[in-house]
Chain A
């Protein structure tokens, strides 16, 4: 985002949001004076009920909300990449051309190939998007966002449309990629487990402000870990969902109802 180049002189924060208001109608705001800081390289997961303003915040950071009424200050780095819920590959471009879409450097194709190899899609450069599975399409979308070396990666429920097994694989891949590239990440998700597994910090959004800001200090990010279960129960309670299985680790594999959490 080149909207405010050079305004972020101190690099202690990748994202700085102050008093952000956004509203789609006169009746009430979606974001009501939200403050948020994300440090460089920090992985933040954003959870909240439907209509809590998660996507509105993400679109504000992505610079995609020019038609939305509101005020407040948003500072983001120059290089921002967005991963959408749908892979959003251009159907008329082969996978490699999708990954390098918009890159002007001479070595774009080479870098695209490296990025594809990184997400496990080597050899699929010439494939059409419709020839890839849903998980592969989303991996190509990840490659497209990472090949730009983003300082900030915005992801709007990127794994929401994937099946449970593919999603677990994508979690592992995303963590690996983020450790390698070190972007600041804001991940919007409905999935509390996903948030705990992936993030350094989990933020609960409610009524357009940050209702809870929790640091995830788990050694093992395993659902069998009692601390994991406790954190999960805490977050679910914050979202208004009772989870009576939470304190007992033997129930840790029970999936809570995602609809209820949303």
Chain B
């Protein structure tokens, strides 16, 4: 080996030669900085250009600058913050209750055969009933107050959390349970150290569906018999033909959705740093 090394001609230049055979990449490749922002920014640009050139009729969709001005006015009067706070509290409460319920049910049903027999069927039945179809019944049961709104949101949240956490939990390889058995850990330790982290990828996928589900339910409940919140603001504006206010409301919903989805993805990247996948 050494003799071959010695007879190899040394390169005269300071730059070491870099001749290599490179295969065409089939995975998605390196992460783009702020890649998540490219799509939304492009849409925004389309809106600005469309309005400036008059391609978009302001009666159909208000110009972005009008929307900004309207938003400024709404903030000044305090209406936007107030509506946003009301909506955010509803969404967060519903999300928390739904996530907790979905997770607990998924773990009980995933780890115990008896639990599965009792829980899985009803959840699958609930899954096939559109959440919004339950609203008339929920109004009869809980009235038109905050309770009904939060429960509707929670019902929309717990299904995806349950489905994906349960699926993630069941796809944990049996060999890890075997390892835990030989290591002599208790059931609680098994849940904490094996089941929860193993089901985490599924749970976080469920959480992304849940967050958008929560916003969807929020929009609907706020447009029914509501006297506060972003949805109420939009309904009111619709009655008065205020396109700009409607757009402000929609933009707020969009921002809420983006922020929520972004936070879940951030959690995903932090919590799943042990994984080595195409996500990178």
Taking Cβ atoms with an 8 Å cutoff, the residues of A that contact B are 2, 62-64, 80-82, 84, 86, 88, 90-93, 101-102, 128-130, 144, 148
> CA of A64 to CA of B180 in the docked complex: distance in angstroms?
11
Kindly provide the distance from the CB of B87 to the nearest chain A CB, expressed in whole angstroms.
35
How many residue pairs link A and B with beta carbons under 8 A? The number is 49
Interface SS, B side? helix
Nearest to A62 among chain B residues (CB) is B182
B274 with A102: CB separation less than 8 A: no
A128 with B182: CB separation less than 8 A: no
Query: Which of B89-97, B189-197, B221-229, B241-249 is near enough to bind chain A?
Result: B189-197
Give every chain A residue within 8 A of B189 (Cβ-Cβ). Answer: 102
Q: Is B275 an interface residue (CB 8 A)?
A: yes
> CA of A150 to CA of B4 in the docked complex: distance in angstroms?
51
Q: Is B175 an interface residue (CB 8 A)?
A: yes
B179 with A91: CB separation less than 8 A: no
* A–B complex contacts, Cβ < 8 Å, 8 sampled: A64-B182, A84-B179, A88-B176, A88-B179, A92-B200, A101-B179, A102-B183, A102-B189
> CA of A148 to CA of B183 in the docked complex: distance in angstroms?
9
Nearest to A102 among chain B residues (CB) is B183
B197 with A102: CB separation less than 8 A: no
Nearest to B178 among chain A residues (CB) is A64
Q: Contact check: which of A2, A81, A91 meets B182 at CB < 8 Å? A: A81
> CA of A102 to CA of B182 in the docked complex: distance in angstroms?
10
Q: Give B159-203 interface residues, CB cut-off 8 Å to A.
A: 175-176, 178-185, 189, 193-194, 197-198, 200
Q: Is B276 an interface residue (CB 8 A)?
A: yes
Q: Contact check: which of A91, A102, A144 meets B184 at CB < 8 Å? A: A102
Kindly provide the distance from the CB of B262 to the nearest chain A CB, expressed in whole angstroms.
23
A128 with B185: CB separation less than 8 A: no
> CA of A92 to CA of B273 in the docked complex: distance in angstroms?
8
> CA of A130 to CA of B274 in the docked complex: distance in angstroms?
8
B181 with A130: CB separation less than 8 A: no
Give every chain B residue within 8 A of A91 (Cβ-Cβ). Answer: 274-275
Question: Which of B182, B183, B275 is most buried by chain A, counting CB atoms within 10 A of its CB?
Answer: B182
Given contacts A84-B179, A129-B274, 8 further A-B contacts (CB under 8 A): A64-B178, A64-B182, A86-B175, A90-B193, A90-B197, A91-B275, A101-B180, A102-B189
Ordered nearest first, which 8 A-B pairs have the shortest CB separation? Answer: A102-B183, A92-B197, A102-B185, A82-B182, A92-B274, A88-B179, A128-B274, A130-B276
Give every chain A residue within 8 A of B200 (Cβ-Cβ). Answer: 92
> CA of A129 to CA of B273 in the docked complex: distance in angstroms?
12
Give every chain A residue within 8 A of B179 (Cβ-Cβ). Answer: 82, 84, 88, 90, 101
A80 with B182: CB separation less than 8 A: yes
Taking Cβ atoms with an 8 Å cutoff, the residues of B that contact A are 175-176, 178-185, 189, 193-194, 197-198, 200, 273-276
> CA of A121 to CA of B198 in the docked complex: distance in angstroms?
25
Nearest to B201 among chain A residues (CB) is A92
Question: Which of A80, A102, A144 is most buried by chain B, counting CB atoms within 10 A of its CB?
Answer: A102
A93 with B193: CB separation less than 8 A: yes
B175 with A88: CB separation less than 8 A: yes
Question: Which of A62, A64, A86, A92 is most buried by chain B, counting CB atoms within 10 A of its CB?
Answer: A92
Kindly provide the distance from the CB of B267 to the nearest chain A CB, expressed in whole angstroms.
14
> CA of A93 to CA of B198 in the docked complex: distance in angstroms?
10
Question: Which of B180, B181, B184, B185 is most buried by chain A, counting CB atoms within 10 A of its CB?
Answer: B184
Kindly provide the distance from the CB of A96 to the nearest chain B CB, expressed in whole angstroms.
13
> CA of A201 to CA of B273 in the docked complex: distance in angstroms?
45
Give every chain B residue within 8 A of A93 (Cβ-Cβ). Answer: 193, 197, 274
Give every chain A residue within 8 A of B198 (Cβ-Cβ). Answer: 92
Nearest to B185 among chain A residues (CB) is A102
Kindly provide the distance from the CB of B176 to the nearest chain A CB, expressed in whole angstroms.
6
Nearest to B183 among chain A residues (CB) is A102
Kindly provide the distance from the CB of A132 to the nearest chain B CB, expressed in whole angstroms.
12
Give every chain A residue within 8 A of B181 (Cβ-Cβ). Answer: 63-64
Give every chain B residue within 8 A of A90 (Cβ-Cβ). Answer: 176, 179, 193-194, 197
> CA of A104 to CA of B203 in the docked complex: distance in angstroms?
28
Nearest to A141 among chain B residues (CB) is B179
Give every chain B residue within 8 A of A92 (Cβ-Cβ). Answer: 197-198, 200, 274
Kindly provide the distance from the CB of A109 to the nearest chain B CB, expressed in whole angstroms.
15
Kindly provide the distance from the CB of A97 to the nearest chain B CB, expressed in whole angstroms.
8
Nearest to A100 among chain B residues (CB) is B183
> CA of A2 to CA of B182 in the docked complex: distance in angstroms?
11
B274 with A101: CB separation less than 8 A: no
Give every chain B residue within 8 A of A88 (Cβ-Cβ). Answer: 175-176, 179
Give every chain A residue within 8 A of B185 (Cβ-Cβ). Answer: 101-102
